[in-house]
Chain A
Amino acid sequence: MTPDDRKYSKSHEWIKLEGEFAVVGITDHAQSALGDITFVDPGAVDKTLSQGDECAVIESVKAASEVYAPVGGVIADINSKLVDAPELLNNDPYGEGWIVKLRAVDPAQFDALLDAAAYDAITA
């Protein structure tokens, strides 16, 4: 089940508002396609991102790929647990496997993202 408490990008990130922050991760579809994730570089706190900027690097056994900021904002926190336990991205992509928290996000960009049903439709 794709959680309906958050929004989705076409490049397979999710973003969830939590108070003044927005939490970003990758979808279950994305982690499944990547396979076992072996390395995550979740970027640097205080870095300013525009929508679509690379905000993290993920490697699986076979390949490397990027996570893009679904909205513009500033990195307020990173999930440092991923450095030693990147498998959290496979095991719990919508929870413990979150990647970064953003502040100062653009609400209009957020509203324009896909809802769960629309995301499911593009990955079906």
Chain B
Amino acid sequence: MPELKKTCLYTLHESLGAKIAEFGGWLMPIQYAGIISEHEACRREAALFDTDHMGEFMIRGKNALTDLEALLSCDVHTMAGGQCRYALLCNEQGGVIDDLLIYRRDESEFMLVVNAGTRAEDLDWIGGHISEDTILEDVSLKTAKIDLQGPLAPEIIVKLLEKPIANLRFYHFMENRYRDRDLILSRTGYTGEIGFEVYLEPDLAEIFWQDCVRSGAQPAGLGARDTLRLEMGMPLYGHELDARRNAGESGFERAISRHKKFIGSAVVTDTEQRTSRLCGIRINGRRAARQGDLIVDNSGNTVGVVTSGSFAPSIGCAVALGYVNLNYTPPGTELILRGARCELKGEVVEMPFYKQATGRRKLTDFL
């Protein structure tokens, strides 16, 4: 087994007494003070996440746009410079190699932000499907990434950066200056709350983290990151998405273009080939279903499988995501989640579970 990697903030996490565990080949902080208090900090104030394990690729060249159109599920040519989009990287069978964010810098230069556990495979796949003159560079090791999320995030970050940010729109990014150095700030995240993903040089990561903490951000681990994304119905690669599941069944229609061909599109965009759909299920009680639990109907027929489940702190009950046969996906459908230890009653509900998130609101509301 290869040695587990450490982010540039690992020593800091240890000194904060974080519980550390393996994730995607990296030793990552799961929690500091506690998952629920970190979750609440993000919903009500501001939380700081080390996401340096994630990978960043630069792709540039005159054919980069055409190459990315063929590789990614979303439209790329309609993106303006400074815009980000969520996309799926699919295989020929329509399964998902990775889910990622694409950043368009200008006509011919793009950044992809990918998951830690799939980074090497992504690099191989992309490298094998681009034009000879397109340059693909893995800049992960020289790029640190920290997410600052929550209603206080804008006023925390505005004090640290040189350039004004008030006009930065949802799913857009900008270059800014911090302590006389360049960084990239995008209005994106994995929590539903207003906030930023920040890309900076690794030697700046620790001081940036400390500056945010001094301004009121609370360190938060992957545990809270998972409950926050689950409440928003956002997918986690390896749970909701994998190489075998038809990406079209995810229901992420906004990430899937119907106006172009891309690798896997013959399967992904063909609605006839879909037999189930990713659904949110609200459970009647606090006890959680877990990945792999069966979803059954009132007659005991298996109609699906759970991909993620947890107690949802901002909802006050347990929730789950799972793939459910198409006949059982309308909101209000009653389902039973059958685990090894118990059966739980639930109901299909519209996504997101948590509807008060601030992510799409105007930045100026928070400055």
Binding site for B on A (CB under 8 A): 35-36, 38-39, 41, 57, 59, 61-62, 64, 86-87, 90
Contact = CB atoms under 8 A, between A and B. Distances in A.
Contacts of B149: none
B35 A35 contact: yes
Interface string B315-355: 00010000000000000000000000100000000000000
B19 A35 contact: yes
Nearest to A90: B34
B36 to A, nearest CB: 4
A38 B288 contact: yes
A62 B30 contact: yes
B216 interface: no
B30 A64 contact: no
Contacts, number: 42
Contacts of B341: 57, 64
Contact of A59 (B34, B35, B288): B288
A80 B287 CA distance: 15
Given A35-B35, A39-B286, 11 more contacts: A35-B19, A35-B223, A36-B36, A39-B285, A39-B318, A61-B227, A62-B35, A62-B223, A62-B310, A64-B290, A87-B36
B31 interface: yes
B190 interface: no
Contacts of B31: 35
A59 B311 contact: yes
Nearest 9 pairs between A and B by C-beta? A38-B311, A39-B286, A36-B36, A61-B35, A39-B287, A36-B34, A36-B35, A38-B286, A61-B223
A13 B18 CA distance: 25
Contacts of B310: 61-62
A39 B313 CA distance: 12
Interface of B: 19, 30-31, 34-37, 223, 227, 285-288, 290, 310-311, 318, 341
Nearest to A57: B341
15 contacts: A35-B19, A36-B34, A38-B36, A38-B318, A39-B285, A39-B311, A59-B288, A59-B311, A61-B36, A62-B30, A62-B35, A64-B290, A64-B341, A86-B286, A90-B34
Nearest to A61: B35
A117 B30 CA distance: 31
A43 B31 CA distance: 30
Contacts of A61: 35-36, 223, 227, 310-311
B316 to A, nearest CB: 10
A33 to B, nearest CB: 9
A82 to B, nearest CB: 10
B34 A35 contact: yes
B32 to A, nearest CB: 11
Contacts of B285: 39
A36 B36 CA distance: 7
B35 A39 contact: no
A39 B19 CA distance: 21
Contacts of A57: 341
A57 B36 CA distance: 20
A40 to B, nearest CB: 9
Contacts of A39: 285-288, 311, 318
A61 B288 CA distance: 8
A66 B31 CA distance: 22
Contacts of A87: 36
A72 B151 CA distance: 52
Nearest to A84: B286
Contact of A41 (B227, B287, B318): B287
A90 B33 CA distance: 12
Interface centre among B285, B288, B290, B310 (most CB of A within 10 A): B288
A123 to B, nearest CB: 16
Nearest to B19: A35
B317 to A, nearest CB: 10
A78 B157 CA distance: 49
A61 B311 CA distance: 6
Contacts of A36: 34-37
A59 B30 CA distance: 17
Contacts of B36: 36, 38, 61, 87
Contacts of A35: 19, 31, 34-35, 223
B344 to A, nearest CB: 11
Contacts of A41: 287
A75 to B, nearest CB: 19
